[in-house]
Structures are given as C-alpha cells and as structure tokens.
C-alpha cells in the first residue's frame, strides 16, 4: 500500500461515522475506481470512549484536530468538525499550509472564509473540495463546477434545508401548527434544540452563498443575502396558498442581473405541480437555469449520515485520481468582486393576507391603493366576517398579485397600513412561478 492515499478524519459525528461505513463497505471498489487504495491513518474526535461501530485501534488518534492536520502520515484532511471559526478553521488552514488536500462539509466556513481558503489551497497546489457542504448527497457542486462549464448560468434556486422542508410539509399535509411540528422535528433529530440556524434561514443562506460563487464566478458574499425564515408562517397561510394553487417552501434564490447579483432566502409560494413544489419532507432540490442546457433540477437527500458521507468520499476519490480543479471553478484571484443588484430588485408575484374591518369601503380602498402603484390582482379570496363581543367585525382578505417590482408592493402595503381599514400587520410572501 505504498501508493495509498492516507486520510485523516477530524470529527467522528454522524457524517464522520458514515465515511467510516463507506470505507469499510466499499474499500476495494473505491481502490479500483480511484486507481489506488484509500487508507484511514488518523482520526480526531472529542472522546475516544464512544462506540462508533468501527475498530480504530490501528489508526493514530489525535485529541487536537490541528495536530492531525500537520501529521506526516496524512495526505488528505477530512474536516467534519463544523463551524465558521475555531478548531474547524484552524484545522483547514493548517492542513493547507502543510500542503495537504482538504475535503470539508463545512458550509459556514466556506461561506465566510471560502475565498481566502481557496487562495491558500491554490498557492500550495492542493485541492479544497466541498461537495458535502451543500445539499448533502446531491452532486450540485460538481454539476456547477464541471457539468455546466459550457453554460452561462442566470439563476440558481432551491430547497436547501431539510428541517424547514419537513416542517412546512407536515403543516400542509397534517394541518398542524409550526410550533407543534417543530417540536416533533426536534424529537426525531431533524431539528436542533436551538433551531434558529435552520428555521431562521441562515443555513440556507450559507449554502446559497457558495452556489452563487460557483454559478456566477463572483467572490463569496453571505453578508449581502436578504434572509427571512419560516417562523412567521401560519397554518392559515399554508391553507390559503393551497386554495390558490400554491405550496409554501423556504427557497434560496440567486439571480444574475446586469446591475449585479440578487441573493435572497425566504418563504415562497411555488405553483402546485412544479418540480420544486413536489419536493417534500427532508428532501432538497436545486434548480439551475443555464443558457444552453435550459432548466436542470437535482433532487435528493440533503442531509444525513450516509448521503453526506457519500459526497465526502466522492471528493476523496477525485483527489486519489489526481483530479484537481480550482476551488470555485476558476482561480480564486479571478473571482469577480461581488456587486449587489439594487436593493429589492426582485420582480414577481406576491401573496398578501390582510385582516380588514368589515365595513363599506375597506376593499375598495385596498384596490385603489394597489391600482395607484400599478399593481394588478390575479386572484382574491374573501371570507365572511368574524366578530366577538370585544372587537368590531373583521374579515380575512387574501390576494395574489401579477408580477410587480418589490418596491411597489412594499410601498402599497405601507399605504394600506396607514389607511385605517387594516387590523394587525399585513402578511406578504413572495411568489416564484418557476
């Protein structure tokens, strides 16, 4: 095994253990496909006592992952620690400085430090591979970096967080509240005890920032993403959307405009029957619009031990074959500076949910304001009034607009709020007609 590619794995959680499973199950096949054996020589984790289902007695154990990254018997450092700073960042930087290839599943690290790390890797002539960082086992990185090299990509979007997709699917299918389904997702291990990173849209934003760089050849810029989560989505919104022919999904969307790049993460109405709308549960889906290939959608499991480990091992095999590309498809020094499109450049339809005082002139006032802002209405749902002993009668009023610019709808909503006919805050959700 003199020509074996020697791996050091930093982090033996669910994904790290999944990598061990694949190496054990398919070691011979991997050697054949890679043209050389792949040997595990070192590991690092928080505790040695945990039973991971594998005999690790013959590999070097490092309590400090940074020390593993500098070990002479390691050719490739597989970083599965997680987090944008701390041990994960130090481990990757040390590996690259020592001329070692790196494979990582760490989207936060790449979203915040990807360009600097890419420059470090390229300076040393080594690979920094990260297929597992976006959409788990779905080969979206390889697709953008290699398969679509002959295309100019104009838009990339999709469902990139399985936790949010699971919650929204359960709410729609079972008529349950956000809080109820979130609690279930936490019990099942789909959501963390503190779910903010997922349901707040930040996980999706990290993944979108990486895809944006690959798709458009720009420097990674997570700070420019407009982020909204799904915490405010109600069962009423989901029912209204269904009645109007839509489902609600959390999407990450990046679009190239002449003026710059538009990046946004938010709950979105998508038409029933469209491919993305049929991606349910913990599954992810990413759509790429290229000028020659047209629309391409990749769907699959976006997280989990074995799907994510599958992507990690694919990156390792590429390194074993001697296949190396610039980290973001082109040399890091040639990535264009990120330029944001004008604020709120989004053009599309909008779902608007209002609670109006049930009195003459309320609906007419809303219609007049929308007309003033050149916003036309595609469809309306108006339900009967509800009343109580302590409040005047009110009535739900839901509408879908034709395509309009976001500044126009925001201006109209501000005027509607001041007009005296609305109870509470209007609810506005973007529509992607795909």
- Tokens describing residue 187: 């019990």
Residue 316 near residue 78, CB atoms below 8 Å = yes
**CA separation for the pair 229, 199 (Å, rounded):** 5
Tally of CB atoms within 10 A around 9: 29
- Residue 207 is among the residues annotated as catalytic for this protein: yes
* C-alpha closest to that of 228 among 189, 267, 277: 267
Neighbours of 8 (CB within 10 A): 28
**Beta strand extents in 217-358 (DSSP E only):** 226-227, 246-257, 260-271, 283-290, 294-301, 347-357
Indicate the length of the chain as a whole number.
434
Q: Which residues of 268-297 are buried (b: 16+ CB within 10 A; e: fewer)?
A: bbbeeebebbebbebbbbbbbbbeeeeebe
DSSP-derived secondary structure for 402-428 = PSEEHHHHHHHHHHHHHTS-B-S--EE
What span, in angstroms and rounded, lies between the C-alpha atoms of 63 and 82? 16
Please, which residues have CB within 8 angstroms of residue 228's CB and are 6 or more apart in sequence? 201, 265, 266, 267
- Residue 385 in 3-state DSSP? coil
Q: Which of 89, 107, 207, 247 is an active site residue?
A: 207
The upper half-sphere exposure of residue 50, i.e. CA atoms within 13 Å in the direction of its Cβ, equals 10
CA dist 258 and 263 (Å) reads 14
303, 162 contact by CB (below 8 A): yes
Q: In this structure, what token pair is assigned to residue 4?
A: 């074996």
Q: Report residue 138: phi and psi, to 5°.
A: -80, 125
Helix (H) and strand (E) counts for the chain?
13, 17
**What CA–CA distance (Å, rounded) separates 69 from 325?**
21
One-letter-per-residue 3-state SS of 98-161: CCCEEEECCHHHHHHHHHHHHHHHHHHCCCEECHHHCCCCCCHHHHHHHHCCCCCEEEEEEECC
Q: Hey, which residues are catalytic here?
A: 207
């Amino acid at each position: 095994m003199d020509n074996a590619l020697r791996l050091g794995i930093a982090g033996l959680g669910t994904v790290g253990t999944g990598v061990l499973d694949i190496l054990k199950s398919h070691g011979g096949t991997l050697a054949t496909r890679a043209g050389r054996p792949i040997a595990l020589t070192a590991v690092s984790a928080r505790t040695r006592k945990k039973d991971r289902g594998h005999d690790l007695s013959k590999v070097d154990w490092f309590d400090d992952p940074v020390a593993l990254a500098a070990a002479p018997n390691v050719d490739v450092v597989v970083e599965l620690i997680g987090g944008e700073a701390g041990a994960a960042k130090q481990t990757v930087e040390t590996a690259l400085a020592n001329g070692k290839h790196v494979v990582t599943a760490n989207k936060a690290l790449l979203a915040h430090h990807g360009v600097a790390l890419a420059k470090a890797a390229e300076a040393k002539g080594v690979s920094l591979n990260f297929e597992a960082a976006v959409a788990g086992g779905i080969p979206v990185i390889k697709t953008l970096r290699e398969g679509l090299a002959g295309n100019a990509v104009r838009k990339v979007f999709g469902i990139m967080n399985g936790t949010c997709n699971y919650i929204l699917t359960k709410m729609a299918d079972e008529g349950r509240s956000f809080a109820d389904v979130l609690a279930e997702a936490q019990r099942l291990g789909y959501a963390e005890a503190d779910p903010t990173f997922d349901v707040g849209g930040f996980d999706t934003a990290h993944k979108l920032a990486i895809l944006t760089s690959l798709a458009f050849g720009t420097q990674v810029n997570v700070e420019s993403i407009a982020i909204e989560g799904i915490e405010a989505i109600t069962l009423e919104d989901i029912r209204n959307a269904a009645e109007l022919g839509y489902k609600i999904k959390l999407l990450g969307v990046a679009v190239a405009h002449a003026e710059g790049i538009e990046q946004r993460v938010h709950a979105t109405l998508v038409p029933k029957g469209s491919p993305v709308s049929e991606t349910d549960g913990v599954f992810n889906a990413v759509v790429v619009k290229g000028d020659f290939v047209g629309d391409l959608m990749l769907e699959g499991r976006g997280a989990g031990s074995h799907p994510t480990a599958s992507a990690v091992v694919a990156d390792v095999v590429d390194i074993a074959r001697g296949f190396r590309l610039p980290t973001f498809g082109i040399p890091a020094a040639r990535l264009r500076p990120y330029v944001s499109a004008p604020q709120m450049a989004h053009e599309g339809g909008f779902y608007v949910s209002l609670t109006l005082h049930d009195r003459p002139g309320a609906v007419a006032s809303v219609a007049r304001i929308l007309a003033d802002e050149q916003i036309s209405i595609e469809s309306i749902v108006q339900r009967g009034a509800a009343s109580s002993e302590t409040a005047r009668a009110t009535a739900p009023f839901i509408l879908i607009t034709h395509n309009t610019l976001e500044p126009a709808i925001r201006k109209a909503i501000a005027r509607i709020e001041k007009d005296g006919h609305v109870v509470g805050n209007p609810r506005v959700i973007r529509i992607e007609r795909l």
